[in-house]
A and B are shown apart, each in its own frame.
Chain A
């Protein structure tokens, strides 16, 4: 929660040097009314939006047709070939779960750390999380021979009296992914309630007004509601923070619990979590940069915010790079011939090109972000984010495929080639994800209206210097700056 007037004491300035005041955070936003106007303006559909939605739905239909074909033909249609029985679907599953990490990182972890740059980007990132986890959740089902039996993994009283094995990483996955989906969707919706109330109050179309009224649950912006809301939001953030770290750790256990060379390593949980956050931030750039351009939100999602997010991207890239190097080093020092052979094979074997795509996209190219000029160049950030998405997909490819195709005994070695069904379903997953995201940006605010208002200086009758009466409708000069109070029940 922001606070008004008290001019910042010098000691405060020294204690919190990195917390900018409202007017240097968003100099282009003058008052609360402008926030409503600018964000609500993003909700009217345009031709470009319809075209993008049509493309997304077309891609989805391609994927759905391929899946129908696969159900009819059996899993053999998807390029599985012994010994590689985890293919593109598991690669893509891990990819989308990873994408789903940045939203909650930005909305929950950066919230607890009071990182101001999150305010304008977190709503879009959170939506991205929910839709990415929804996409990821499809892949374990696509990967099943009998997808209609997927619910057998959930422990529930059933007439067969069969229960899943709670020591199996696949069962942990079910708990982790479903919890993550539920909690991030809840966090997303709770944060949306005050903003939907703004839409309800501003909407003129009676049908849409009624829909917003139902979704806003009768929210009235009263002090009592805000008091409980800010507490609940804080606790949800506190729960979501370790949850973010746990989910990709659990996904990494799918690999690390197996004895397969290249997988059976204790470095996997932190390595996966760092990779997930890195890929998620990559996708945030892919989404946010066009969004701020097409919706003309450059004055809200400022270049300073993108610069700060780019620093986070650079940091996670270096963590991921360190993990890559550590993996090689551990194999080298292990004295284990199979492990050494595997890592040699990773960079110089059949899939050398995939490993080098991974290393260049994830480790080398992001180093360009050391340059402030490039961090503030949106075109470069967007291009780099595409490379990061590609690099992170190939990271999972490099983890899954070469390990399975090159296990302990030479007679177990094999090859793998994805078929058109794999590629069509991969394309379909992007269609599915972007369809939801495009629907979201035209129905609900892409920016947290009430939180952006928190960092705007409120209208004041008594200015810090002299007295000035400000009548309603006047432009509020933010002479007295709202500062972010770093402690207490912030929202």
Chain B
């Protein structure tokens, strides 16, 4: 993948560069930021995260499994007390709830990993350690015909450094 990486010190310059790149029809833009910021998210106009689906499915599976395992155990070895029903849903709500939280949380983390494509073994192109430190980075995928244009946009908005990577 060929592209241009620009490093910025200021957030407003980064936002303006993103807006300009999007105006010039660069579609594949990745922004690096030491901390999440709404203005970068707004400039990128990114879709909503899909993590919530993993959370919902994990939670539903957990609560179902929790009730099921408690009821199954009770039926497998019935302890009849005072003629009351063998499976008692009120105490089993504790097990259902705990497993909902357990499965829901783990599937949320799994969803986050899957959607963010981590764990990642290599850092791939277009990363610089300064992006976790204090600077913002913009990585634009640009073919040989558009590298100059992208470089120009990044420089115009005050990038500290611009470099081509492939």
Contact = CB atoms under 8 A, between A and B. Distances in A.
B44 to A, nearest CB: 6
Interface string B69-97: 11001101101000000001001101101
A269 to B, nearest CB: 11
A227 B131 contact: no
A33 to B, nearest CB: 4
Contacts, number: 222
B52 interface: yes
Interface in A144-171: 155, 162-167, 171
Interface string A216-232: 01111111111111111
Interface in A201-260: 201-202, 217-232, 235-236, 239-240, 242-243, 246, 250, 253
B1 interface: no
Given A179-B99, A182-B102, A217 B35 contact: no
B10 A218 contact: no
27 contacts: A2-B37, A2-B38, A5-B39, A32-B134, A165-B79, A166-B74, A166-B92, A166-B95, A167-B74, A167-B91, A175-B95, A179-B98, A182-B106, A222-B31, A227-B36, A230-B36, A230-B49, A231-B112, A235-B55, A243-B98, A454-B37, A459-B11, A460-B12, A461-B10, A469-B158, A472-B9, A491-B36
Interface string A172-213: 100110110011001100100010011011100000000000
A469 B10 CA distance: 9
Nearest to A177: B98
Contact of A218 (B37, B122, B130, B132): B122
Contacts of A225: 116, 118
B124 to A, nearest CB: 8
Give the size category of B's interface with A.
35 or more
A3 interface: yes
Interface in A354-392: none
A101 interface: no
A162 to B, nearest CB: 8
B46 to A, nearest CB: 6
Interface in B21-57: 30-41, 44, 46, 48-52, 55
A31 interface: yes
Chain A contact residues: helix, strand, loop or mixed: helix
A176 B101 CA distance: 10
B148 interface: no
Given A155-B73, A166-B73, A227-B41, A32 B34 contact: yes
A453 interface: yes
Contact of A239 (B105, B115, B131): B105
Contacts of B147: none
Contact of B69 (A33, A155, A242, A462): A155
B44 A223 contact: yes
Interface string A108-150: 0000000000000000000000000000000000000000000
Contacts of B9: 459, 470-472
B162 to A, nearest CB: 13
Contacts of B160: 472
Contact of A202 (B52, B104, B129): B129
B133 A242 contact: no
B57 to A, nearest CB: 12
Nearest to A166: B70
B74 to A, nearest CB: 6
A321 interface: no
A243 B11 contact: no
Nearest to A187: B105
Contacts of A178: 102
Given A236-B108, A454-B35, 13 more contacts: A2-B37, A3-B37, A31-B134, A167-B79, A167-B88, A183-B101, A217-B113, A218-B120, A219-B118, A226-B33, A239-B101, A458-B37, A469-B158
A427 interface: no
A5 B120 CA distance: 34
A232 B92 contact: no
A251 to B, nearest CB: 12
Contact of B35 (A2, A5, A165): A2
Which of A217, A221, A470 gathers most chain B CB within 10 Å? A221
Contacts of B55: 235, 239
Contacts of B118: 217-219, 225
A377 B76 CA distance: 60
A341 interface: no
A223 B111 CA distance: 16
